[in-house]
Amino acid sequence: MSGAITHLSDANFDEEISSSSEPVLVDFWAEWCGPCKMIAPVLEEIASEKADSLRIAKLNVDEAQNVARRFEVMSIPTLILFKDGQPVKRVVGAKPKQALLDDLSEFI
């Protein structure tokens, strides 16, 4: 477990999500979104601290527009937690680390 952050695209999204044995937290983000930049380091910390129980993946909504549309992402940052390939939790907007961990606590 490296705690490395995977980058998802329209092409590899389904495979990456369905083949993961751990829950995957997908960060829908874009280059031009200030709050997205603010949570990037928070997600990196969580990725390394929770490397045993959680994978973190980033999805650039400019590039992976089909996935963003499929999950009706209308606001970024949006974080969606997938468990066994299914979305189980959605968090909209940047939050401090502890608040984010609290939101995810029942699943990880």
Partner 1 sequence: MSDVREVIIIGSGPAGLTAAIYTARAGLSPLVLEGEPSSTSDQPGGQLMLTTDVENFPGFPEGVMGPELMQNFRAQALRFGAEVQTVKASRVEFSSRPFGVWIGDPDTAEPTHRAETVIISTGAQSIMLGLDREAELIGHGLSTCATCDGFFFRDQEIAVVGGGDSALEEAQFLSRFAGKVTIVHRRDELRASKIMQDRGFANKKIEFRWNSIVKGYEGDPTISGLRLADTRTGEESVLAVTGVFLAIGHRPNTGLFKGQLALKDNGYLMTRPDSTRTDVDGVFACGDVQDDYFRQAITAAGSGCMAAIEAERWLEDNPGAIH
Catalytic residue list contains 58? no
Catalytic residue, candidates 8, 24, 26, 36? 36
Least spacing, CB of residue 17 vs partner 1, in Å: 21
Give burial (CB, 10 Å; 0-12/13-18/19+) of 67: buried
Which of 21, 74, 86, 105 binds partner 1 (CB under 8 A)? It is: 74
**Tokens coding 51:** 């490397």
Cβ at position 21, least distance to partner 1 in Å: 29
- Choose the catalytic residue: 12, 20, 22, 33: 33
Q: Find the binder of partner 1 among 54, 61, 67, 81 (CB under 8 A).
A: 61
Q: Shortest distance, CB of residue 103 to partner 1, whole angstroms?
A: 13
- In DSSP terms, 24 is beta-bridged to 55, 82
Place of tokens 């829950």: 23
Active site residues: 33, 36
Name the residues that contact partner 1, by CB under 8 A. Answer: 30, 32-39, 42, 61-62, 68, 72-78, 92-96
